[in-house]
Each structure stands twice: as structure tokens, then as C-alpha cells.
Structure 1
Amino acid sequence: MKIDTPKDTPTHLLKNPESYITRVGKFMRKTSLDELPQILNILKGEMSIIGPRPCLWNQYDLIAERDKYGANDIYPGLTGWAQINGRDELPIDIKANLDGVYVERMSFIFDVKCFFGTIISILKHDGVVEGGTGELDKGKTSTPNATTSEGKDTKGII
């Protein structure tokens, strides 16, 4: 991010977030290299490899929505079900619901599915939209329908 980026503001709340991102930062986000320091948190036992992504302290809307599904009650993960099913493109309610689906289905097999799904998503650069929380609702409707645990149509989210 550039030095003049507003502090303590989630990227999705910035006006024109692309103007605050450097070329190196854009590359790091697309390849998920910016997530590598979190391996230290995993080694310290503060995070797991698979689980709901940690929220920023000031993402009150996402924290409240995830509380409904118990997604804040488990260790956060480096990657998770919501990340391989839309990542930045997902509106907050769908992202939180998918985190809840992870909590419901949590198992070794489901973690393996998330792990390999993450590798595929990274290689395809799927779901990376700076400042794009909710981009899926803004025009991407060409994928087949699926439903979440509550029966919500997620427009192709697995």
C-alpha cells in the first residue's frame, strides 16, 4: 500500500482502492504472498492452516455476521471455505455463511478439500478484488447455482 493510504480502514471501504496499491502489492495479493507471515502465527499455535480467515479488528459488520454461525469461536485459518468460493468477491453475509458451513463440516477430509482448492484458486488468481467485498453480487451471475447450509442461493459457490 502507498504511504498516503488511510489508516485503520478496511480495503473494501476505501474509495478507489486500486489507487492505493503499489505494483508490488498487487502482485503479492494476486499470488497470496502477503499471507506468508501468518505461518509464524500457525507455528505459535494462534492460527490453523484451514479455518475462517481472521477479521480485521475494525470489520464490525463481518465479525457480527460471523458470530451468527459460530465462525469466530474457532481458530482462524490461513485459508478457508469462503476463500476458495469467492474470497474478495463475496458479500459479507455470504462470506460469513460459508465460514459457518466450514464450522459445520469441519473435518480432516474437508480441510484437505479446502487446502487443494486453495492451491487451485491461487494458481487461477480467483477471487482477488482489491476493495471488492461483494463484487460477486455486482454482475457475476454466469455460474451455476448452489446453496449454502441455510438454503441461500450463492450463484455458483460450491
Structure 2
Amino acid sequence: MKMNFTVLSKLLQSTRGLLLSGYAAFAFSFILLLQPNSPGLYRFSALLFCVLLLAAHHYLSMRVLFDARLLDALAQSEQPLHEITADLDQSLIQLKLMPQAKAGRGWTERFQGCIRLFKAQACLLFMQYLVLMCLAFWTLTIHHQAI
């Protein structure tokens, strides 16, 4: 079971690369939105959407990295798993990071939750690049029409 903690922790730690890629997509999108031929309302709406995507991506990245660090600490702990789980649940509840109703869940369910967060982050990154491609196409279309 300890190996599951280590493997999932290492997978989740790749969140930094996803986040940096998301920042790159945002930067390129922002550059495309600076083009003078774009209508003002279009630029504002697209920029707002890009900022919201980036904010959601950043939040998910923080959550995933938090989970990765917790799993890493738990993998290195010498305490029995049931004690670690009880201590973790108590700490998360006291800090209001987890509702009381989620206490006592099995580790399979917790691992699946971590993987869902990681997949959600990957989906947000995909959406950021999709927006970037749409903006690039739009910019090329506008410049082509201007010529």
C-alpha cells in the first residue's frame, strides 16, 4: 500500500509542468489578444475567459500539489496506516480543509479523488490550448482579410 502513496505522489508532482504549460498558453493567448485588429468586446471577453481558465487551473494545481505532498509525507511515515488516516482526517477537519462527512473514507476512494483532480487539471490545460488555437485562427483570419 505504501508504494501506491509513492507512485501517486510522483504522478501528482508533475502538476508543475502542467501549470507552467498553462501559463505559456495564457501568455501566447494574451499576445494574440493584443493584436489591434480584434474588436474590443471580443478581446475583453476572450481575455476574461483566459484569465478564468488560468485561475481555475492554478487552483487545481495547488490542490493537486497539496495532495502530492501529503501522500509523500504519508509514504515516509512509520505509523500504521489506520493511525495515519485518523490523524490526517482529524487535522483536515480541524483546519476546515475537509468536511466531517468525508472522514473515514478508504484509500482507494481517496486515490481516485486525487486522480480526478489531476485529470481535471489536464482538461483545463487542454481547454487553454484549444482557446489558444482558436485565437490564433481568428487572428490569422482577421489579418488575411485585412490584406
Q: TM-score, normalised by structure 2?
A: 0.22
Identify which of structures 1 and 2 has the higher relative contact order when contacts are C-alpha pairs closer than 8 Å and 6+ apart. 2
Q: TM-score, normalised by structure 1?
A: 0.21
Structure with bigger gyration radius:
2
Q: By percentage of residues, which structure has more helix?
A: 2
